[in-house]
Amino acid sequence: MKVLVIGAGNMGLTYAEAMSKSKLLKKRNLMILDSSPEKILSLKKILHFDVFENLEDCLPKADLIFIAVKPYHSEELFAKIKALANPGQIVISIMAGVTIGTMQESMGIPKVVRAMPNLPAQIGKGVTSYTASKEVSRIELLTIENLLDTTGKSIHVSSEKFIDASTGISGSGPAYVFYFMQSMMEAALKMGFSANDSKVLVSKTFEGAVDLFNQSDLSPNSWMDRVASKGGTTRAALDSMDDNNVKELIKEAAYSAFNRAVELGEEK
């Protein structure tokens, strides 16, 4: 099986590295294409895969086409792919919003998988949701799941609605965590800690809390109760967040990302 990754950015390069290093692909079965000349130069220094500058030279050889460009680059790319593709090829797209129907029609390829990964894929700790058009067979889907798992954990979802929804939870989610971290680091700096101490205090707090959560069946609410003493400091902070409606605002933010994913699909 030959895989072509289109778009060597944050996500495309991450998947190219992970898939080419896994035992799933034989040597030299990973091709990568990017439109930026500087990126091509740096990619050529990486030895796990073959680098291409023109679609004509690589697309016809691919069994699986992994699309990792920004949604606003997709329309132009699809038209070029359509001229070279054959209907037996399989497309996996990680683009936010762009629907399976649009991809089938614009590329003339019936077998399409839509997936939504997240940035921790870069360190093998990503989570990816995926769903497929009915033309993709069970065996093909199993192979694709194994490829997605090279960057972490994947979950199959029953419809594209859940791809847009997981964009609002896990796809964009790392940025919400960084937002919270940034806010806490700014508070620590204001309290007089050095930049380095602020970073250590905040990052270790996140790491420890997530590890605790993962090692038990307790809900986040139960863990909050274990930290908060009656009339104590944590309760003062949690009450302040509740008074300011922070939980509702976070839910609203996740819905904004979900809605934006749906909107991106409608813009096509």
Ligand X SMILES: NC(=O)C1=CN([C@@H]2O[C@H](COP(=O)(O)OP(=O)(O)OC[C@H]3O[C@@H](n4cnc5c(N)ncnc54)[C@H](OP(=O)(O)O)[C@@H]3O)[C@@H](O)[C@H]2O)C=CC1
Q: Which one of the spans 93-101, 105-113, 176-184, 202-210 is the region binding ligand X (CB under 6 A)?
A: 93-101
Q: Residue 268 Cβ, how far from ligand A1CAB at the closest point, in Å?
A: 14
| Residue 165 binding target from ligand X, ligand A1CAB, none, CB below 5 to 8 Å by type | none
Burial of 194 (0-12, 13-18, 19+ CB in 10 A): exposed
Nearer to ligand X, 188 or 264 (CB): 264
SS3 category, 155? strand
Amino acid of residue 225: D
Task: Transcribe 93-136 into DSSP letters.
Answer: E--SS--HHHHHHHHT-SEEEEEE--GGGGGT-EEEEEEE-TTS
End-to-end CA distance of the chain: 31
Please list, in sequence order, all residues whose beta carbon lies within 8 angstroms of the beta carbon of residue 169, skipping any fewer than 6 positions away: 254, 258
Q: Minimum Å distance from CB 73 to ligand X?
A: 4
Cβ closest to ligand A1CAB, residue 123 vs residue 212: 123
List Cα–Cα distances, 40 to 13, 44, 50, 181, in angstroms.
11, 6, 11, 34
Helix (H, G, I), strand (E, B) or coil at 68: coil
Give the nearer residue to ligand X in terms of CB position, either 36 or 259. Answer: 36
Q: How far is the CB of 36 from ligand X (least distance, A)?
A: 3
Give the x-and-dash track for 18-57 against ligand X (CB under 6 A): ---------------xxxx--x------------------
Interaction between residue 17 and ligand X (CB under 6 A): no
Among 3, 5, 8, 165, binds ligand X (CB under 6 A): 8
261 φ, ψ (degrees, to nearest 5): -65, -45
Residues that bind ligand A1CAB (CB under 6 A): 96, 167, 171-172
Least distance between ligand X and beta carbon 244 (Å): 28
CB atoms within 10 A of CB 116: 28
User: Residue 140 Cβ, how far from ligand X at the closest point, in Å?
Assistant: 22
124: contact with ligand X by CB under 6 A: no
How many residues of this chain bind ligand X (CB under 6 A)?
26
Q: Which residues bind ligand X (CB under 6 A)?
A: 6-12, 33-36, 39, 68-71, 73, 77, 94-96, 116-119, 171
